[in-house]
Amino acid sequence: MSNPFLKQVFNKDKTFRPKRKFEPGTQRFELHKKAQASLNAGLDLRLAVQLPPGEDLNDWVAVHVVDFFNRVNLIYGTISDGCTEESCPVMSGGPKYEYRWQDEHRFRKPTALSAPRYMDLLMDWIEVQINNEDLFPTNVGTPFPKNFLQAVRKILSRLFRVFVHVYIHHFDRIAQMGSEAHVNTCYKHFYYFVREFGLIDTKELEPLKEMTARMCH
């Protein structure tokens, strides 16, 4: 039987953002292939996230940030029709956690928004950053800026909030589509990666702490 999750993902009516691609022949493309090969070979995710010998940490992190952005985008895209202004008037992870949006332009102060509005702003904000050659240089030999890992920490901690919202408010939809195994694998991959390189503060991970303890230990 065909997987309904994949049907949703490739449904032409669903508009997904264009994926950021790695140019064939570049170092980043080779690293991307190496990372994918580890996953496809069913390698333990804890091992799959480790920096391959002789590779540059920033390159390895850049490849994964783009990949996680693409994957989380797809996961949210599949449940987005059930995440509306009415159903999710606040961007939250259960009653204890509310996320407010802040950026350098329109929302200079943390602002309460609905989940779909927050997600839209978040995805646009990340897309601008990963397409910014000054922050994510694509040419081999072009150095990463000094603030690269700092910028990445912010991107990943905000992407984590998408997992929080999806797991806490929309997991029934994911289960209904039979795609929990896929989403859980994406989450575990993300979690092991950010822990391996210390890219998200422990307090940010609190909302999914119990679930993570069951799934990842």
Question: Which residues participate in the annotated binding site for Zn(2+)?
Answer: 83, 88, 165, 170
**In angstroms, how far is CA 103 from the centroid of its own chain?**
18
Q: Give the sign of the dihedral formed by CA 208, CA 67, CA 19, CA 102.
A: positive
193 with 64: CB under 8 angstroms?
yes
**In angstroms, how far is CA 123 from the centroid of its own chain?**
10
The tokens for 127 are 């897309």
d(CA 140, CA 120): 31
The helix (H) or strand (E) run that includes residue 69 is helix 57-79
**Sequence ranges of the binding site:** 83, 88, 165, 170
Q: Could you give the angle at the alpha carbon of 178 between the alpha carbons of 80 and 187, nearest 5°?
A: 70
Looking up tokens 């669903």, which residue turns up? 14
Which bin fits 106, alpha (ψ -120 to 50), beta or left (φ > 0)?
alpha
**DSSP conformation class of 178:** T
**In angstroms, how far is CA 158 from the centroid of its own chain?**
8
d(CA 201, CA 203): 5
